[in-house]
Structure 1
Amino acid sequence: MIRKWALRAIVLYLIFGIAMYAYLFFFANTSIPEALRGTAVDPATFLNGRELMLSEDYSRIRNLLFFLATPYEWLFYFLILILGVSATFEKWANNTSKFFVIRSAIYLFWLSITSFIVMFPLSFLSFTISKSYQISTQTFPGWMKDKLIDFWVSYGTMFIIITVLYFLIRKFPKRWWLAAWCLMIPFSIFMMFIQPVVIDPLYNDFYPLKDKELEAKILDLADMANIPAEHVYEVDMSTKTNSLNAYVNGIGSNSRIVLWDTTLERLSDEEILFIMAHEMGHYVEKHIYIGIAGYILLSFVELWLTAKLMERWLAKRGKDWKVKKMSNLSSLPAFLLITSILLFAASPLTNMVSRYQESRADTYAIEMTEDKEAGIESFQSLTKAGLSQVKPPYLVKIFRYGHPTMLERIKKIDEYELNK
């Protein structure tokens, strides 16, 4: 019976992959509406023929990899659970120490290293494709270094989460999900606080913006928006990518305004100021706090559903999978599988909210800078640098895009009526 379930899962994954390939490469409509031909939205007006071809090909491949990677992860969790691999990992951990904290660390290490190995081919494929399309400028050793940092940062974070989670499952068998939710809120806020100063510097070098004239302009914008910013940072990304980006992250005293050096090299001051005004729009409209509130609500529902589904699933199949009860560490793949599926199912809603907030931030940038030309040119440059589709397929938009499409963003700026 176990072999049949494993075979069915693999066949279902292959069918899904073929269906997504057919959709993205043959059936999805990515053409610009006829009424917008020749306008600022039309990629033919700011991309040459080769760039148009490359952007379509690269976007299709990247989108396919996204839709293959997520269920591939589900398949991994499902197979190691039903084939008893997870139970074997727990047995190894139990034979090593009588202390739960050590057993948790050992079990999680085996699970994490197996996941790393299994997911590595897709990650490496994504890297090589980015290199071939000249999006990534990173060397293989540099890429591997980042992957290893990812591994240990994720392992350390997960070790804390899993150790506390399974302690709560043992302590509160019926209400563990509620206790976990209560502890997760301060932990998530703490991680947001340390992200800019502890985690991000592990990957890249951050330093104060060298162009002091540009920094003064950005800080003037921040002052106009009543944003308490004292410094602007730039980060060395040109050794890793040709893409452009700028962002504001962190909370409280650790919040940072950050510009990629690729953005500084390729965009004019006016275009950079428009992008910065967009980021400031998020602060002014308190999107970060709205996002935290939404995250708290969504995580409450997700943990409750996960608890109910795990309880029923393990009661029915746990014996076959050699998972005696939910408090066994070997039940972790079931927890990760269910939460991942729920997050993916919720992504159309969360992405829709995010797109609305991004659109509001675009409006703020237009009104603050009153420079529509800079806004249009900055989005055109972002499209060109990242070989992005101006009009992605519908399924890609709802499952991948936390920002409006470039068609929507450029069209909005182009048609926006400024009050003068």
Structure 2
Amino acid sequence: MFVRKKWFLAAFGLFLLYAFSIYIYLFHGADTSIPDSLKGTSVDPMTFMDSKTLENSETYSKIRNFFFFISTPLEWLFFGMVLVSGLSKRLDRWGRDSWKRQFMQTGAYVFWLSLLMFVVFLPLSYLRYKISLSYGISTQVFSSWMKDNLIEFWVDYTMTAIVVIVLYWLIHKSPKRWWLFGWLLSIPFTIFVMFIQPVVIDPLYNEFYPLQDKELEEKILALAAKAEIPTDHVYEVNMSEKTNSLNAYVTGVGANSRIVLWDTTLSSLDDDEILFIMAHEMNHYVEKHIYLGIAGYLLLTLVGLWLTDKWMKRVIRKRGELYQLESMQKISSLPLFLLITSILLFAANPITNYVSRVQETRADQYALKMTDNPEAAVTSFQKLSESGLSQMNPPFLVKLFRNSHPSMLERIQLVKEYEKMQDK
């Protein structure tokens, strides 16, 4: 009991120290100013934001980044406490007492762990929601926000239960090679989820329909034809009831691949700006970034599952008594599995974000060549930054661990370099 109490105090103390360090870095240590040589140019937010919006963008970005950096370590603390407190062992026993079949026991365990996690982290989610409302980013009423949270809970639970039931069945059948067989099964599962995402999962949250502005649709389809992209429709999604932010994206694979525009984007950008955004998204299709992303994800999954196997066995062997774990084969080891995979995913962020930023840069370059309208590119970046209250020049750690896109400063600078090349 003394050892567990000591662990609780040490883990909580380390988390508080980490959170304090991140707070100091984001709010007082990191330099997010624009270089003096760029002040007064199109990169400078003072040229397109009023003083109040500029102040809000800095403060809101710092708050949002702070939540990002503490949320994942808070999950680690949660999983550790579930293990050390013996709650995981009790949930396992509860499932075995309630159900005869192993897959039902596993499903019940995943449900109670997921529900506990949902309840514990709901106040933090609510706080983020209220802050987003106060800064005018979110426009979503509470009932709609709560509905989305409940939908997300059931979608996540369903996916997690399927994966965990299969993985723990493999661990029972092949304790040494479960990670390899699990990875092989993850290939068709990942592709299947990507295939159904646009037509099954996404519509649970929002309403999708063909672009209503037919004149704009003709322009976009003409751009798609120029890019040799076979498509008949661009999809619009009703997001104005939930946010003031702007976005457009490519989703799905195969016959279900889609280019999607938020209605907030349509109402805030002019046709030239939208065509630039669309050309950017089309590049993801042309260069098959979605498929490259799937391949990269599967490669990381293979390495991650192998490392998880080695790490779990080592922890159980050396710290099994502290975490109240006797074997990796028991479902009570799931919090340790989730803890390790979460750590590995967080550690992989700099790699995955770097690859994504390279792809996004290539998409910007492609869009500039396709539209040859640098002015529309600059104003679209400015409006995206203003609507989302995002920093033009975020801190280094934010770029490293969070940003999947280049900073707006870098993107506008890319446009300026393109203009110089055209002038030569």
TM above 0.5:
yes
- How many Å apart are 1:278 and its aligned residue? 0.2
Residue 179 of structure 1: aligned partner: 181
Tell me, in whole angstroms, the C-alpha distance in 2 between the residues paired with 1:351 and 1:73: 21
SS of residue paired to 2:185:
helix
Q: Could you report, residue by residue, the CA deviation over 1:224-271 in whole angstroms, capped at 9, with x for unpaired residues? A: 111111111100000000000011100000011111000011100100
Q: Pick from 306, 309, 321: which aligns with 1:307?
A: 309
- Aligned letter for 1:353? V
Q: Could you report, residue by residue, the CA deviation over 1:128-168 in whole angstroms, capped at 9, with x for unpaired residues? A: 00000010000011100000000000000001000000000
Gaps (5+ residues) in structure 2? none
- How many Å apart are 1:81 and its aligned residue? 0.9
CA contact (8 A) 1:314 1:325 kept: yes
Corresponding position: 1:407 with 2:409 = yes
Tell me, in whole angstroms, the C-alpha distance in 2 between the residues paired with 1:230 and 1:358: 24
Residue 154 of structure 1: aligned partner: 156
Tell me, in whole angstroms, the C-alpha distance in 1 between the residues paired with 2:297 and 2:70: 26
CA contact (8 A) 1:192 1:251 kept: yes
Residue 389 of structure 2: aligned partner: 387
Q: Pick from 102, 108, 131: which aligns with 1:106?
A: 108
Count of paired positions: 420
Residue 43 of structure 1: aligned partner: 45
Q: Pick from 277, 283, 286: which aligns with 2:285?
A: 283
Tell me, in whole angstroms, the C-alpha distance in 2 between the residues paired with 1:139 and 1:290: 37
Tell me, in whole angstroms, the C-alpha distance in 1 between the residues paired with 2:406 and 2:262: 21
CA contact (8 A) 1:87 1:321 kept: no
Tell me, in whole angstroms, the C-alpha distance in 1 between the residues paired with 2:416 and 2:378: 7
Q: Could you report, residue by residue, the CA deviation over 1:357-376 in whole angstroms, capped at 9, with x for unpaired residues? A: 10000000000000000000
Tell me, in whole angstroms, the C-alpha distance in 2 between the residues paired with 1:415 and 1:35: 15
Residue 372 of structure 1: aligned partner: 374
- Aligned letter for 1:193? F
> What are the within-5 Å matches in structure 2 for residues 156-305 of structure 1?
156-305=158-307
- How many Å apart are 1:392 and its aligned residue? 0.4
- Aligned letter for 1:265? S
TM-score if structure 1 supplies the norm length? 0.99
Q: Could you report, residue by residue, the CA deviation over 1:4-62 in whole angstroms, capped at 9, with x for unpaired residues? A: 11111000000000001011111100000000011110001000111110000100100
CA contact (8 A) 1:109 1:155 kept: yes
SS of residue paired to 1:259:
strand
Q: Pick from 322, 325, 331: which aligns with 1:323?
A: 325
- How many Å apart are 1:313 and its aligned residue? 0.4
Tell me, in whole angstroms, the C-alpha distance in 2 between the residues paired with 1:322 and 1:21: 34
- How many Å apart are 1:300 and its aligned residue? 1.0
SS of residue paired to 1:207:
strand
CA contact (8 A) 1:36 1:42 kept: yes
Q: Pick from 108, 123, 126: which aligns with 1:124?
A: 126
- How many Å apart are 1:289 and its aligned residue? 2.0
Residue 6 of structure 1: aligned partner: 8
- How many Å apart are 1:322 and its aligned residue? 2.7
Tell me, in whole angstroms, the C-alpha distance in 2 between the residues paired with 1:168 and 1:133: 48
CA contact (8 A) 1:40 1:414 kept: no
Residue 85 of structure 2: aligned partner: 83
> What are the within-5 Å matches in structure 2 for residues 57-72 of structure 1?
57-72=59-74
- How many Å apart are 1:185 and its aligned residue? 1.0
- Aligned letter for 1:226? E
SS of residue paired to 2:236:
strand
CA contact (8 A) 1:246 1:258 kept: yes
TM-score if structure 2 supplies the norm length? 0.98
Tell me, in whole angstroms, the C-alpha distance in 2 between the residues paired with 1:374 and 1:321: 57
Tell me, in whole angstroms, the C-alpha distance in 2 between the residues paired with 1:184 and 1:147: 26
Tell me, in whole angstroms, the C-alpha distance in 1 between the residues paired with 2:120 and 2:398: 25
Instruction: Name the stretch that deviates more: 66-75 or 310-319.
Output: 310-319
- Aligned letter for 1:149? I
SS of residue paired to 1:416:
helix
Measured on the aligned residues, the alpha-carbon RMSD in Å equals: 0.9
- How many Å apart are 1:321 and its aligned residue? 2.8
- How many Å apart are 1:114 and its aligned residue? 0.5
Tell me, in whole angstroms, the C-alpha distance in 2 between the residues paired with 1:367 and 1:82: 57
Residue 95 of structure 2: aligned partner: 93
Residue 135 of structure 1: aligned partner: 137
Tell me, in whole angstroms, the C-alpha distance in 2 between the residues paired with 1:319 and 1:398: 37
Instruction: Name the stretch that deviates more: 75-84 or 292-301.
Output: 292-301
Gaps (5+ residues) in structure 1? none
Tell me, in whole angstroms, the C-alpha distance in 1 between the residues paired with 2:330 and 2:351: 33
- Aligned letter for 1:305? L
